[in-house]
């Protein structure tokens, strides 16, 4: 058992196994995930765990070099957009249409499913290296 940080063994394993440029996704429960992708389902009930709590925990452990958001998030969920960018402050990012983001999931090393029900509560974290 770890002293601090993430306790979920499946999530710890996925983070430890992530390599440079891998896609590591944090998603709402409605995002369609392609078959064959490692899904770590943390969803319990609506809102638990939240997207932001999950993002904070994962980004505290995972080396992230950039991230990708759906363009629609800016206008449809502006508060969540701003909070997401604040958590990942200083990292380069880009926007793609939501349909393209769903296609990018095919490259995901892992998808962490949250209980968040805010629209477009999804982010692709592009893994970096710590050296």
Query: 130: annotated binding-site residue?
Result: no
Query: 28: annotated binding-site residue?
Result: yes
Query: 18: annotated binding-site residue?
Result: no
20 is catalytic: yes
Query: 122: annotated binding-site residue?
Result: yes
User: In this structure, how many other beta carbons lie within 10 angstroms of the beta carbon of residue 82?
Assistant: 11
Query: 98: annotated binding-site residue?
Result: yes
Question: Among the options 7, 17, 19, 20, which is catalytic?
Answer: 20
**d(C-alpha 129, C-alpha 131), whole Å:** 6
Pairing of strands 23-27, 108-113: parallel
Catalytic residues: 20
Binding site, by residue number, is 28, 98, 120-122
Binding site for substrate, by residue number, is 28, 98, 120-122
């Amino acid at each position: 058992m770890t002293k601090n940080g993430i306790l979920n063994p499946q999530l710890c394993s996925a983070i430890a196994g992530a390599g440079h440029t891998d896609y590591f996704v944090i998603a709402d429960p409605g995002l369609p995930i392609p078959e064959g992708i490692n899904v770590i389902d943390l969803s319990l009930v609506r809102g638990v765990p939240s997207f932001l709590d999950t993002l904070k925990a994962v980004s505290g452990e995972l080396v992230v070099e950039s991230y990708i958001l759906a363009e629609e998030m800016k206008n449809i969920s502006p508060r969540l957009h701003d909070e997401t960018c604040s958590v990942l402050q200083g990292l380069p990012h880009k926007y793609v249409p939501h349909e393209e983001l769903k296609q990018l999931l095919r490259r995901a090393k892992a998808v962490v499913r949250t209980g968040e029900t805010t629209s477009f509560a999804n982010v692709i974290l592009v893994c970096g290296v710590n050296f």
